[in-house]
Every structure is written in structure tokens, then in C-alpha cells.
Amino acid sequence: MKRRFFSFSISFVLVAMAMVSTLSNLSAEEKSKSSPGSQQEPPAQVMTDRPLYQIDASYDNHKNEVTGHMAVTLQETRTEPQTEVYFHLYPNVFRDWKFGKESKPTRPGFIEISNVKVNGTPVKETIRETIMKVPLPAPLPIGKSARIEMDYRLRLPQGGTRLNTYKNTAFLAQWYPMLAVKDRDGWHIEPYTTIGDPFYTQMSDFEVTFRIPRGYRVITTGDDREQEYRSPVTIKQENVRDFAAVLTKDYKAIRGKAGETEVNLWYLAGMEDVAPALHSAAVSGMNFYGEKFGKYPYKEVDVVLGETGYGIAGMEYPGLVTSIPRIPTRKGQSPAVNVVVHELAHQWWYGVVGNNQVKEPWLDEGLTTFSEFLYMQEKMKENETDLLQRATIRSNEIHKAAGVTSADSLYQYPDSVYGLMVYIRPAAMMYNLMDQIGKDKVIAILRAYYEKFQYRTATTRDFIQVASQVAGRDLTPFFQEWLYFK
């Protein structure tokens, strides 16, 4: 989720809709353990269907740099012999910014790679902007693994989106070379875009060691409940899609529990007035979604309030979300409860049940927005019926003028209509489905979908099939009308 000031404050939603005043102007054009320098042999026997990342990272707060060593043990499962591996180097987008001037980092960032080896054999990587190709010395057959190692140097941007530094805090998102996904459609090495979240990843295991300056601590995707201010610190986490971290010496925490999961709210000085309310909302939201959709499977989740880059109201990562502390309302500034519970709903829709966020962004953002609205309606007594009705009318007009649907890829959307088409219209769709088959049945659909596709990557077709099975009738025409405008 990004740039959601317009999506999750009603007034900002309406402003965004109003911006689309000349619909005819929309066109298709808009549309094993390792430490630095180690050369360990690959494990004698690796039985896994998930990659294993082992990262040893040192943070220099004076240079705004992370340096270290990464080893990735590839999963054994594949459908054909593999001759190369692709990685995303997302930090390179901040070296030569090609997007809007208003979102340009005030200080550039990048990631440099060196000493790449496959099972101890040096290989020559090829890097083009944010994509790195690593050749394998020999084709990797089905049922075999390989260990790819490399050194890296990450220069952190200032004012970058998601990857950012703010005073004594570094927000590390997409901060390491990330394996590209290879599935039935081939390698997913799609280019970066500032619209939406262009990050499609696979379930992986992580073992990450941080070497941090005195006084700093780490807040991460992993289970770091017992970690205090010390260095180095090693954090492990299995079966997650990504590994994000916040390195800081400024944050304080409010701790609590939702069922068996520890829920932490991290805040800065000046946020004391909203921190307790947002922590209560985080605990309440985790309980609410767990009861509605199914148990959250991890031991901890962190909510970090802070400046994660231009236009970022909030952002989701496995086990860690960020949020702004306050939102503007008609009555003035209020705690950003809706942003917090939205990002936490992503723990279900994206975190546990995955989807291709580039190809089908509605599938996590739409279900997450519906989940958020459902929480705000039941727990905060906020009724969004009027907003959803107006959004439905406006999205119909936009489709008629520009041809975009709610089931397009990121690259088809102008920024001005992305939130409306991908977030709000699918939420309106789910509310309309409740009107047709009942709220209990819709919740049962989401529970069944969550149970069936945990730790997997689902598609729109998968969701429609589950919905039809639970409803006891073919809902394809319903979803065709709402998602594809047919």
C-alpha cells in the first residue's frame, strides 16, 4: 500500500475522485550461516521448497550505508533445469530517479554487488538498473539446490519511498538483493513503478545478523521479542515473503498481545498523544481479523509510526507495518486508526495469502480495504455506504472513458485513479456481495480462501472459485461485472 492519504481519509478519497474531472484525457498511455567474506561449502543436504536467505549486515549511521554478505540457498523444487537466477535490486531506482520530481529523493541511493559465487565458483553477474542476472556454472536440475553468495554495499537514500533515513532511524525495505519469482509465466522481472507496490516475492526463510551502532536497536519482520540494545543480533524467521527492518535509537514501544501474538506499537517523541489509541487499535484489529478470517500464524507483529518516504501513509511487510500517526478529518487531526488496521489486514491478504501484486493488485488491496472498512464499521461505527456508492458510479464513468478495470496490472493505471479502481471499487464489490448472499457467507468465503491459500500465491480465478463453492452458486458473472465491467 502506498500513497494512501487519498484512499483512507474520506475527504481525501473524494478529492482524488474529483481530480479525475476530464475523463476523456485518460488514455492507454497513462494507463547455511555466513559472515562477511565466508566461503562455506553448500550444505550437504538441503530439503526445502523455500529459498533460505542468510544475511550479515553492518550499518554505518554516519555514512548512511549497509554493507555485508548475503548467501541464498535456492529451493529444490522446479519444473525444469535452471541455468540462471534473477534478483531485484530495487535500491538502484533511487540512483537515477526517473519518476515525478515531487517524489525524487533529496539524496540518491543505490546497491552495489561484488564477489558473486555459485557453490564457491566465481561467476560474472549482469546488472541492468534494478535487475541482476546470475548465471549458473551448470544447469541446476530438478531436486537439486545451489548456494549463491555475494557481497554488497547499500547506500541509503534520503526521502526515498519505503527505503529511507529519518534522523536516527533507517527504514530498510527491499534493502537486499531479492530473488525474482519464476512461475508458469516465466521470470518476473517487471520494472519498478511508483504506482502501487511492484514487489512480487515468494515464501522464504531468513537468518539475518545486524551489526549496529551503540544505542541502536532493530525492529524486524522476524521474531525479535527478546532482542535488546546489543550488537551483533541475529534474527530468524521462516516462511515469509520478505524481510523488512527498522534500525533506530529513537523509538519507544507500547507492548501488548492479541491472542498468542505480541503486538508492538513503536512511536517517536511528539506522538505520545496518539500512540496509546493506535496501539489499542492494533491489538483490536489483530483480534478482529483473527476471529473473522483465521488465526495469525506468527508470534509477533510490529507497527512503526514514522516517515517512510514521500507519499507513504502506511506500508505493509510481513510481521511489520508502518503508518502515519495522524490523519486529517473534518473535525481536525485524529489518530490514524484506519491506516493502522488497513496495514494489519495486509498480514492476511498479502502476508499469509499471497498474490502477484504487479499483475493483480486488487486481490490484496481490495480485500484489505474491505477488511479495513468492515473493522471501522463494526468497531468504530463509521459507515462508508455513501462513499462506496459514489465510488461505484465514478469508477463506472472512468471505465467507460478510459477502458481501465479493477483487475488490470499496475502499469495500466494512471496514478489519479489507481486507489479508486484497486482499493475502493473492490471494497464496494464485497459490500454488494454481502447484500446479495449475506454477511456471514461473505466472511465464510474469506475464511475458506485464507485456509486454502495460506503460504501460497492465489489468483483472481482462485478467489472466484472459492467464493462460488462457499456460496453454493456460480458467482463468476457477479465478479465479471464488478472487476472487469462485463
Are 462 and 422 part of one and the same domain? Answer: yes
- Residue 80, domain extent: 46-238
- Structural Rg of the chain based on CA atoms: 22
Of 315, 350, 385, which residue is a domain's last?
350
**Any domain includes 9:** no
Phi then psi dihedrals of residue 176, to 5 deg: -130, 160
User: 167 exposed, middle or buried (CB, 10 Å; 0-12, 13-18, 19+)?
Assistant: exposed
Q: Is 234 found in the same domain as 101? A: yes
Classify residue 472: in a domain, yes or no.
Answer: yes
Domain count, the chain: 3
In this structure, the answer to whether residues 216 and 287 fall within a common structural domain is: no
The question of whether 418 is a catalytic residue gets the answer: no
Residues 321 and 368 reside in one and the same domain = no
pLDDT the model gives residue 10:
41
Instruction: Name the β-bridge partners of 218.
Output: 247
Q: Are residues 208 and 274 in the same domain?
A: no
Q: State the pairing for strand pair 300-305/320-323.
A: parallel
Catalytic residue from among 90, 423, 431, 449 = 423
Decide: 39 and 455 in contact? Cβ < 8 Å.
no
Bridge partners of 150, per DSSP, are 70
pLDDT at 36: 36
User: Cell 549463491, residue?
Assistant: 148
229 and 312 assigned to the same domain: no
Known active-site residue 125: no
Residue 40 in domain: no
Which of 174, 205, 238 is the last residue before a domain boundary?
A: 238
Same domain, 309 and 374: no
Nearest to 434 by CA among 371, 354, 365: 371
Q: Provide the 3-class DSSP secondary structure of residue 112.
A: strand
Using the Cα atoms of residue 111, residue 307, residue 272 and residue 15 in order, give the sign of their dihedral: negative
Cβ neighbour number for residue 461 with a 10 Å cutoff: 11
Helix (H, G, I), strand (E, B) or coil at 195: coil
Is residue 57 a part of any domain in this protein?
yes
User: In this structure, are 371 and 477 located in the same domain?
Assistant: yes
CATH code of 149's domain: 2.60.40.1730
* Same domain (yes/no): 341, 472: no
Q: What's residue 421's pLDDT?
A: 98
Q: Tell me the three state secondary structure of residue 314.
A: strand
Structure confidence by residue, pLDDT tens digits, 378-434: 999 999 999 999 999 999 999 999 999 999 999 999 999 999 999 999 999 999 999
pLDDT at 329: 87
User: What is the pLDDT at residue 167?
Assistant: 95
- In 3D space, the residue among 7, 34, 32 whose CA is nearest the CA of residue 19 turns out to be 7
Q: Let me know whether 287 and 415 are in one domain.
A: no
Contact 344, 282 (CB under 8 A): yes
Q: What confidence score (pLDDT) does residue 48 get?
A: 62
Q: In the chain, which residues have pLDDT < 50?
A: 3-47
pLDDT digit string (tens) for 45-87? 334 689 999 999 999 999 999 999 999 999 998 888 999 999 9
Which tens digits make up the pLDDT trace of 358-372?
A: 999 999 999 999 999
Do 258 and 189 have their domain in common? no
Q: What's the grid cell of residue 418?
A: 489507481
Positive or negative: CA dihedral 293, 323, 239, 135:
positive
In a domain, 320, yes or no: yes
Q: Has residue 371 been placed in a domain?
A: yes
- pLDDT at position 227, please? 61
Q: Is residue 245 part of a domain?
A: no
Instruction: Determine, yes or no, domain membership for 27.
Output: no
pLDDT for the residue 49: 87
Q: Which of 313, 308, 218, 276 is nearest to 6 (CA)?
A: 313
Same domain as 210, residue 144: yes
Specify binding-site residues for Zn(2+). Answer: 342, 346, 365
Q: How distant, in Å, are the alpha carbons of 81, 83, 142, 181, 187 from that of 184?
A: 14, 16, 15, 10, 9
pLDDT at 45: 39
Q: Which one of the listed residues 149, 190, 262, 343 is annotated catalytic?
A: 343
Mean predicted lDDT score pLDDT of the chain: 91
**Of 350, 369, 386, at which residue does a domain stop?**
350
Cross-strand pairs, 140: 82
Helix (H) or strand (E) holding 387: helix 385-402
* CATH number of the domain encompassing residue 373: 1.10.390.10
322's CB contacts (< 8 A; 6+ apart) are: 171, 303, 304, 305, 306, 308, 312, 314, 315, 343
Predicted pLDDT of residue 225 = 77
